[in-house]
Amino acid sequence: MELENLMSAFAEKLGIEGIEVKEGICSMTIDDIPMDFTESPGGEAVVGAAVIGEPPPEKREAFYEMLLQANTQLYGTQGIALGKSPDTGEIILIGGLPFKGLELQEFCKDLDEFVSKAEEWRETVENFRPAAEEAAIMEKDASFFGQTNSGFISV
């Protein structure tokens, strides 16, 4: 079964109309997450890439450490990789979904799991930003209170 047929069946299942494959890439938005799907070079799998957010301006080192830990501890990504788009700098979730020898129903189940993982990681990325901003404010406040002003000293 070729990519266009697979993705059309999946889109129909989700109620998305008008899916087209252009230049070997099927683009769609599912739950406000932009996703691209393309066939692997050997034609054995569909490679999915989902844009899940932007890195926060604060606490970037902690943010990227979290992503790296998730990539090395497979429970965080279930074997799908987190990365940074070289073109946009956005964080993406990318992975191959084998389809050779699978029934359409099984492939759609695997694709559903990819979409669910993208939704989970989008939420993680979105929640990291406020936490990082709050931590930056707390550090700023802590450094302010640690200064010696008006005769007060830090203890």
Is 152 among the domain residues? Answer: no
**Whole-number percent of the chain with pLDDT over 90:** 20
Which secondary-structure segment (H or E) carries 63?
Answer: helix 60-72
Query: Which residues contact residue 5 at a Cβ distance below 8 angstroms, ignoring those fewer than 6 apart?
Result: none
pLDDT in tens, 60-81: 888 898 888 888 866 666 678 9
pLDDT in tens, 82-98: 999 989 999 999 998 88
- Give the predicted TM-score (pTM) of the model: 0.75
Is 121 among the domain residues? Answer: yes
Is residue 112 scored above 60 in pLDDT?
A: yes
Is residue 152 scored above 50 in pLDDT?
A: no
Domain that holds residue 52: 3-139
Is residue 145 scored above 50 in pLDDT?
A: no
Is 23 among the domain residues? Answer: yes
Given this model, what pLDDT does residue 132 score? 54
| Overall number of domains in the chain | 1
Query: Rounded CA gap, 57 and 45, in Å?
Result: 35
Is 153 among the domain residues? Answer: no
pLDDT in tens, 12-21: 888 877 677 7
**CATH code where residue 66 lies:** 3.30.1460.10
Is 14 among the domain residues? Answer: yes
Is 120 among the domain residues? Answer: yes
Is 155 among the domain residues? Answer: no
Is 93 among the domain residues? Answer: yes
Query: Which residues contact residue 30 at a Cβ distance below 8 angstroms, ignoring those fewer than 6 apart?
Result: 14, 16, 115, 118
Given this model, what pLDDT does residue 52 score? 94
